[in-house]
Amino acid sequence: KSATYDQIKAAIKEAANGDLKGILSYTEDEIVSTDLIGDNHSSIFDAKAGISLNNNFVKLVSWYDNEWG
């Protein structure tokens, strides 16, 4: 099923605020890896870092602190 990048972001944001709250985080801030030191989420979706070449080819970027836990 094809989807726009905005549709994908909306679905991820909904999940981060719903069933996956506390596990998945969503950000539209401009971040770098050091911004996430000590963040206890399993995944922080970076909405500004992804790209969509078309509605069937999308690159998503998500961060995590591999030294936390």
Q: Quickly list DSSP for 3-65.
A: --HHHHHHHHHHHHHTTTBTTEEEE-S---GGGGTT---SEEEETTT-EEEETTEEE--EE--
pLDDT for residue 68: 76
pLDDT for residue 69: 61
pLDDT for residue 38: 93
Flag whether the pTM goes above 0.85. Answer: yes
Burial of residue 41 (CB within 10 Å: 0-12, 13-18, 19+) is: buried
Residues of the chain with pLDDT under 50: none
